[in-house]
A and B are shown apart, each in its own frame.
Chain A
Amino acid sequence: MISFARTDTSIVGRWWWTVDRWTLLAVALLIAIGALLTLAASPAVAERLQLQSQHFVLRQAVFLPMAIAVIFVISLMSPRGVRRVSVVGFAISLLLVVATLFLGPEIKGATRWLQIASLSIQPSEFVKPCFAVVAAWMLAEQRRREGMTGGLICCALFALVVGLLIMQPDFGMTAVVAVVWFGQCFIAGLPMIWIAALAGLGLIGAILAYALIPHVASRIDRFLDPASGDSYQIDRAMDAFGQGGFLGRGPGEGMVKRVLPDAHTDFVFSVAGEEFGLIPCLIIIALFGFITLRGFARLLREEDFFVLLATAGLLTQFGLQAVINIGVNLNLLPTKGMTLPFISYGGSSMLALALAMGMVLSLTRRRPNLGGLP
């Protein structure tokens, strides 16, 4: 490992001594496991799609260094820098989301992507972390200054984001953004009566989605009663864990990756279960749990309200995505397209998560306590 003297006062030197190195290590491990699983799962998918077998591997090989660079650069920033990046990023990505409604090609019934040169990006992925930070700022401002309308602005922005996501439509993303925002409001000290009201609103939203959107209803029905429809994907995923057992079938010996369309993205955890067995999967869960809970533990000592809310939002998003993805793989939740952070294949998702994790690392750096941001 590179070592820096305690007295090293260069930017990198200070970064090294103030950043949470345990979280850094855990993220590095996740990225390494993700690279390994992309090698394992994606060639089979690529071959089925009549692509060159290393198609996804090569793309991921381009995104991975970019992601690592993003984590590093963002984590070098001060909380104020993070806030600025977020505000700018939020504005740009929101504009791009609007653009997808007009320019994006329709893929599987939704317009979520923008084609830029040979890369396709999903701007809504970047909205998630940026909005979490912006919302945290607004909520913190509300607390800080009497008469600030941060809360109101926060609610308006939330409505805007949710509205745009529903227009795409992308209900999974909507749900994540809503839960994260709700969590932030909760931590920000919203009175319990309001919490109850928001929860009720969320429930109504969910019921509306079930009642009005056929494919949402179908997925939930199939989860509650597998016999009611085709449960092919989830059955294969269940089989994969069963076949994997304690030790796994062995690297490259998996079958599920040959039959599941999303083996390299949403169902990569099943591939891991089949090929590598119980222990590596437990390690993956442990790494997600460690990053999330260690982040929360550090926040307990946090004095700055903005930092607390922003980090909590980012960690909630990170942890929630992991829980939902693994929960779907293990048939604990209805099928929902959700990437497993740093492990699933996917450029936009990877870069957006890198951005979020960079922010978390930056915000959780030890700072001389100067009473928060001005």
Chain B
Amino acid sequence: MIQTDLPVKARDIEAEIGSDSGILLVGSKAQAIRIGRIRLLTVALVFAISFVVLAGRLIELTVIREPSPSLAFMSASPTKYTAGRADIVDRNGILLATNLLTASLYADARVVPDAPEAARRLVTVLPELSPSAVQERLASGRSFVWLKRNLTPSQQAAVNGLGIPGLYFRDEQRRLYPQGALDSHVLGFTDVDGNGIAGVEKYFDQEMRDRGPQGRALQLSLDVRVQHALRDELMAAMVRFRAVGAAGVVLNADTGEVLALASLPDFDPNHPTAAPALARFNRATKGVYELGSVFKVLTVAMALDSGATKLRGGYNATEPIRVARFTIRDSHAKKRWLSVPEILIYSSNIGAAKMALDVGRDGQHKYLERFGLLSQASLELPEVGMPIVPARWGEISTMTVAYGHGLAVSPVQFATAFAATVNGGVLLPATLIKRKPGARALGVQVIRAQTSNQLRRLLRAVVEKGTGRKAEAPGYLVGGKTGTAEKAGVGGYLRNALISSFVAAFPMTAPKYVLYLLLDEPQGDEETHGYATAGWTAAPLTGRVVSRIAPILGVRPVDDGGALIQRAMALPLASMQGRGQDVAVN
């Protein structure tokens, strides 16, 4: 200021001289200018300080201060993602279904400047898209059109690299099934929008949405190890016997939990539409079949339980039964009087039919109802078949149902009923959800425990001595029953289209696991001498499955010939003339 004062004054005076206004103002004007400059400096200083403060605050906000978390909702962080489904795990926590965060490509067609060019370039990086379809969508003028769902990161990068305006990504959760086809019929699948449309994905759709992707996983009763063994053996058998399909269920006899459930052919739930529609048909739960001789187990159970016969009793199976235009004959005909154990061991239709007549039509109906075979099973799947019950349940139906014809039920339903015959007589509804120990209380006593005890010995005898010999798995005390049924066709049963199945439990001293395996239209080969019946197909399959899963399930093998075991499995195997004698089977 002081420096500029003098020249300014000098110039002021000069100006005054040049101007003709009064000299009086010189002092006042110079003073005004001086005050003005000082105050100008003050204002400038205020501004300078303001700008420095602004700069300081800017540095604080951008660099020094931690970014507040409140903007996190805007970034694509998976932990903040709320929409989506819970994981599914098996009983041991193995992941069966989960979600993968992916980007899906869509376009705002109003913004895309040159649809044909954009489509042409887009197809170069996503060759699976059809150029004409893409172009049509991009030219639609709509604000939202899907182009491709669930891109891989490299595809996303490639699309970004094109730099086409109007293309955007939306974060999506793609459902992922790491086990592939292994549990496909249980898990089902979801559509591209994450809606469950089959299997437990559909049954628990709302539940899994409510839990969300970070929520508690849905824990199934399945054990992937058992599932793998079951599916593997079923597949091998299906190939070997050139069957059109196969199904299998493994249950925990004490809890009703489904440890494994397979239906072949199956599909990869990651790409459900890639498989033919037939592959998505669940034979184990949705399919209902006349299952044949496996039903004799139930017939014997109800006959013994109701007191219609005794273990020492028997029936004359010398002649086939002729009723109306039907003839009931035995396929392994002994043409003699058969004791109750023999009827089961040799799978006598005649014996079973006569036994059922003794139980009576009403008694049979009542028992089957208790076993849950006359109504839809209560499994946690949308795909559960309705039994086909005889329209008129007269004497003939009573006799045919006794050996498994005339009544069609689903395999899982039959396995559930069978479990009750060996576990002490308690029917436990089958479930796909892991149950807590003590689930037995949920069950209903359908037959007496003593009857169940008798059936254990009978079923063991079938495997030791009868039609189920090939189902033996040494050390695991398998017991079970074969079932060979002709499929119903137009105008009667088809001789060469069989449902060959085997129902089994092990170890028979105190059965813990029940399995039911079924082959749809198997064909015999040289090794089976052309036979496709259960004893040659489903029985050996059962033996293989048991010997694979028993170690997994922690069942200890025992010495089959041990005295304790022999005594526990002792059975009064009556002779031809009805002279009863207690013999240890074999």
Contact = CB atoms under 8 A, between A and B. Distances in A.
B is bound to A: yes
Interface of A: 53, 143-144, 183, 186-189, 235-236, 238-246, 255, 273, 277-278, 281-282, 285-286, 288-289, 292-293, 296-297, 299-301, 303, 305, 308-309, 312, 316, 319, 323, 326-327, 330, 332, 369-372
Contact of A323 (B40, B50, B58): B50
Nearest to A311: B40
Nearest to A326: B54
A187 B43 contact: yes
Contacts of B36: 187-189, 305, 308-309
B239 interface: no
A215 B168 CA distance: 39
A332 B53 contact: yes
A67 to B, nearest CB: 23
B289 to A, nearest CB: 59
Given A296-B40, A299-B40, A278 B58 contact: yes
Given A53-B111, A246-B63, A327-B54, A371 B39 contact: no
Contacts of A245: 62-63, 67
A246 B40 contact: no
Nearest to A289: B51
Contacts of A236: 71
A189 B32 contact: yes
B70 interface: yes
A332 B57 contact: yes
A286 B43 CA distance: 17
B378 to A, nearest CB: 50
Given A242-B67, A289-B51, A303 B62 contact: no
Given A189-B35, A243-B71, 9 more contacts: A189-B39, A238-B61, A239-B68, A242-B68, A245-B67, A281-B62, A285-B55, A292-B47, A316-B43
Most chain A Cβ neighbours within 10 Å, of B4, B37, B47, B111: B47
B41 interface: yes
B170 to A, nearest CB: 15
B18 interface: yes
Contact of B51 (A241, A242, A288, A371): A288
A238 B51 contact: no
A293 B47 contact: yes
Given A242-B66, A303-B8, A323-B54, A293 B25 contact: no
Contacts of B4: 300-301
A303 B35 contact: no
A319 B57 CA distance: 17
Interface residues of B, number: 44
A282 B39 contact: no
A273 B62 contact: yes
Interface stretch (B9-17, B190-198, B303-311): B9-17
B47 A319 contact: yes
Q: Give the 10 A-B CB pairs with smallest separation, nearest first.
A: A371-B15, A242-B67, A289-B51, A296-B44, A239-B71, A241-B61, A189-B35, A278-B62, A330-B57, A255-B74
Given A238-B68, A255-B71, A282-B55, A144 B25 contact: yes
Contacts of B19: 371
Given A326-B54, A369-B11, A308 B40 contact: yes
A300 B71 contact: no
B8 A242 contact: no
Contacts of B71: 236, 239-240, 242-243, 255
Given A296-B44, A299-B40, A326-B54, A143 B15 contact: no
Interface of B: 4, 8, 11-12, 14-16, 18-19, 25, 28-29, 32-33, 35-37, 39-44, 47-48, 50-51, 53-55, 57-59, 61-63, 65-68, 70-71, 74, 111
A87 B39 CA distance: 26
Given A255-B71, A323-B51, A330-B61, A186 B43 contact: yes
Instruction: Name A's interface SS.
Output: helix
B32 A242 contact: no
B51 A273 contact: no
Contacts of A323: 47, 50-51, 54
Given A186-B43, A330-B54, A289 B48 contact: yes
B44 A277 contact: no
A173 to B, nearest CB: 20
Contact of A303 (B15, B43, B67): B15
Contacts of B48: 289, 293
A94 B57 CA distance: 38
Given A245-B67, A371-B18, A285 B47 contact: no
A330 B15 CA distance: 48
A285 B40 contact: no
A238 B12 CA distance: 52
16 contacts: A187-B36, A189-B32, A239-B68, A239-B70, A242-B61, A242-B68, A244-B62, A245-B62, A278-B63, A282-B58, A289-B48, A293-B51, A308-B40, A327-B50, A330-B57, A332-B57
A26 to B, nearest CB: 13
A300 to B, nearest CB: 6
A370 B4 CA distance: 18
Contacts of A143: 28-29, 32
B46 to A, nearest CB: 9
Contacts of A326: 54, 58
Given A186-B39, A235-B70, A297 B44 contact: yes
A358 B28 CA distance: 31
B55 A372 contact: no
B362 to A, nearest CB: 74
A286 B51 CA distance: 8
Nearest to B30: A303
A109 B47 CA distance: 33
B33 A305 contact: yes
Contacts of B68: 235, 238-239, 242
Contacts of B25: 144
A287 to B, nearest CB: 10
Nearest to A143: B32
A150 to B, nearest CB: 13
A183 B51 CA distance: 18
A369 B54 contact: no
Contacts of B74: 255
A369 B12 CA distance: 10
A273 B40 contact: no
Contact of B62 (A277, A288, A332): A277
Contacts of A246: 62-63
Nearest to A299: B40
A300 B5 CA distance: 11
B62 A187 contact: no
Nearest to A248: B62
Contacts of B70: 235, 239
Contacts of A289: 47-48, 51
A245 B64 CA distance: 9
Contacts of A297: 44
Most chain B Cβ neighbours within 10 Å, of A144, A183, A241, A308: A241
A308 B40 CA distance: 9
A238 B65 CA distance: 10
Contacts of B12: 303
Nearest to A327: B54
B40 A300 contact: yes
Contacts of B111: 53
Most chain A Cβ neighbours within 10 Å, of B16, B35, B58: B58
Contacts of B39: 186-187, 189
A213 to B, nearest CB: 26
Contacts of A312: 40, 43
A303 B8 CA distance: 8
A144 B18 CA distance: 16
Most chain A Cβ neighbours within 10 Å, of B37, B62, B63: B62
A236 B74 CA distance: 11
A312 B46 CA distance: 13
A213 B74 CA distance: 35
A144 B26 CA distance: 10
Given A242-B71, A244-B62, A332 B54 contact: yes
